[in-house]
Amino acid sequence: VQLQASGGGLVQPGGSLSLACKASGGIFNKYTMGWFRQAPGKEREFVAAITGSGGSTYLADSVKGRFTISRDNAKNMVSLQMRSLKPEDTAVYYCAADDWSDSFISISSYEYDYWGQGTQVTVSS
């Protein structure tokens, strides 16, 4: 499975940004998909995940109410809509696929088998 993330950029605090991750290869709806982020000098952290059918989602407390994860299985894409962005959201954002289960959500990066290349999100005035 190859994952290609896009949509990062520079945005002012309070602004919005949408990330997209396009998958190729594999059977997309068999994977739980996740978004992680890594800020300079910090460990990679879980942001959001969605089950294969899209029926269940889970978001980190730090982004609940501000971020939304969704997927379009017909297009092999998963998206992360981000609003009310804060400077502390600045990081490289990665999409990832977990091929162990399509109905279980893990917040551990070790459970994810395939990773995109990352896209930079910078929140600054």
66-102, pLDDT tens digit by residue? 999 999 999 999 999 999 999 999 999 999 999 987 7
Residue 8 near residue 16 (C-beta atoms within 8 A): no
Helix (H, G, I), strand (E, B) or coil at 70: strand
Residue 8 near residue 28 (C-beta atoms within 8 A): no
Q: Give the span between the Cα atoms of 111 and 4, in whole angstroms.
A: 19
42-56, pLDDT tens digit by residue? 999 999 999 999 999
**In this predicted structure, what is the pLDDT of residue 26?**
87
